[in-house]
Chain A
Amino acid sequence: MSIRVGVVTFPGSCDDRDALRAVELVGGEPAPLWHADDDLQGADAVIVPGGFSYGDYLRPGALAARSPVMRAIVRHARDGGPVLGVCNGFQVLTEAGLLPGVLRPNAGLRFRCHDVALRVQRPSPWLPERGPGDLLEIPMKHHDGCYFADPASVAELDHHGQVLLRYEPNPNGSVDAIACVTNREGNVAGLMPHPEHAVDPLLGSADGRVLLAGLLGLARTPAAA
């Protein structure tokens, strides 16, 4: 059975097409979703892609988090459905309360656009066939990617195994070099680097396929989370 993966387009999204194509490359069935619809078109899994939804007004992701499609995505996630937020999508998921923490302006105040190395912290259904210590090479491109949570929350995240990837080295001042976190239940994940831009060795790396395969896997066996 092919897994149907909804990819949201907000006004200002710019990575939605790459995400749709990446879903197809890993064997999923891409389904475009529109921000003003509160219907997920039967999607088994959802990607909230990168871009500058609603012009990044107020705070990145703050307005998108309150859009009709996000209400449907929150219901999907509460029912255990897998959701992956990338870049602006990560910001949207934190603002919507689906993921802990918040993304702040990079510590160096620069927009940074380059490949980053991400160290796998623990085995996870999000990272099929990868284990602790493995490295993924995936591009990032953002101004507001400095992950922040207070020390007590970071300790909680570590305690519950919610930190999947850490930067090596830390490009944006994220607390504890945290690059990718999940919710407590494990069915929602977010990161600033772009797996959907790393799906073909011809373009430098295919490591992004790991997370996309993880998303499809979680849709097949939700209990694995």
Chain B
Amino acid sequence: MTRVTVTVRPKEGILDPQGEALRRSLAAGGQPVVAVRAGKVFDVEIEAASDAEALALAERIAGDVLANPLIEEHRVALAAEERVG
């Protein structure tokens, strides 16, 4: 089993109203935040013979389903050992 992390975020230049609302809220609270882009993270567990095969499959799933290429870009990576905070 290979764990792959897929990150989806609004494409450069696409207005992100959610991120903009967050920025405004943080700025109103006195935080020195100049920009926020809101995206999504998916942890996907894949049955694959190798990491490369898992990554290739995740790339296809990300492009076909998890992201809408008209407005979003995606990145796939093997899941790092994460420390849950």
Q: What is the interface of chain A, defined by CB distance below 8 A to chain B?
A: 58-59, 62, 66, 95, 101-102, 104-109, 148-150, 173
Q: In the complex, A150→B18 CA distance in Å? A: 20
Minimum CB–CB distance for B43 against chain A, Å = 14
A104-B65 in contact given A109-B17, A109-B18, A109-B21 (Cβ < 8 Å) = no
Beyond A105-B17, A173-B15: 10 further Cβ-contacts under 8 Å? A62-B68, A66-B65, A101-B70, A102-B70, A102-B71, A104-B17, A106-B17, A109-B18, A109-B21, A148-B71
CB-contact partner of B15 in A58, A59, A101, A107, under 8 A: A107
Contact A148 B65 (CB under 8 A): no
Q: How distant is the Cα of A196 from the Cα of B66 in the complex, in angstroms?
A: 31
The residue on A at minimum CB distance from B15 is A107
A107 and B71 contact, CB distance less than 8 A: no
Closest Cβ neighbor of A107 among chain B residues: B17
> How far apart are the CA atoms of A109 and B23 in the complex, in Å?
14
Known: A58-B66, A62-B65, A66-B65. A104 touches B71 (CB 8 A): yes
Q: Which residues of A contact B70 (CB under 8 A)?
A: 101-102, 148-150
**What is the distance, in angstroms, from A44's C-beta to the closest C-beta of chain B?**
31
Chain A residues closer than 8 Å to B17, beta-carbon distance? 104-109
Q: Which B residues are CB-close (under 8 A) to A59?
A: 68
Closest 3 CB pairs of A and B: A102-B70, A109-B17, A105-B17
8 A Cβ contacts from B1-50 to A:
14-15, 17-18, 21
Once the chains are docked, how many angstroms separate the CA of A148 from the CA of B71? 8
CB pairs A–B below 8 angstroms (27 shown): A58-B65, A58-B66, A62-B65, A62-B68, A66-B65, A95-B68, A101-B70, A102-B68, A102-B70, A102-B71, A104-B17, A104-B71, A105-B17, A105-B18, A106-B17, A107-B15, A107-B17, A108-B17, A109-B17, A109-B18, A109-B21, A148-B14, A148-B70, A148-B71, A149-B70, A150-B70, A173-B15
Contacts of A101 in B (CB 8 A): 70
Please, how many angstroms separate the alpha-carbon atoms of A104 and B66 in the complex?
15
In the complex, chain B residues 62-76 whose Cβ is within 8 Å of any chain A Cβ: 65-66, 68, 70-71
With a CB–CB cut-off of 8 A, which chain B residues contact A66? 65
Q: Which residues of A contact B18 (CB under 8 A)?
A: 105, 109
Query: Across the interface, which residues of A come within 8 angstroms of B66, CB to CB?
Result: 58
Chain A residue nearest to B69 (CB atoms) is A102
User: How far, in whole Å, are A206 and B40 apart by their CA atoms in the complex?
Assistant: 41
Q: Chain A residues with Cβ under 8 A from B14's Cβ?
A: 148
Tell me which residues across on chain B come within 8 A of A95, comparing CB atoms: 68
Q: Which of B47-85 contact A (CB under 8 A)?
A: 65-66, 68, 70-71
Residues of B within 8 A of A173 (CB): 15
Question: Which B-chain residue is minimally distant from A149 (CB atoms)?
Answer: B70
For the complex formed, measure the closest distance between the CB of A192 and the CB atoms of chain B, giving whole angstroms: 16
Please measure, in the bound complex, the distance between the C-alpha atom of A44 and the C-alpha atom of B13, giving whole angstroms: 42
Chain A residue nearest to B21 in the complex (CB):
A109
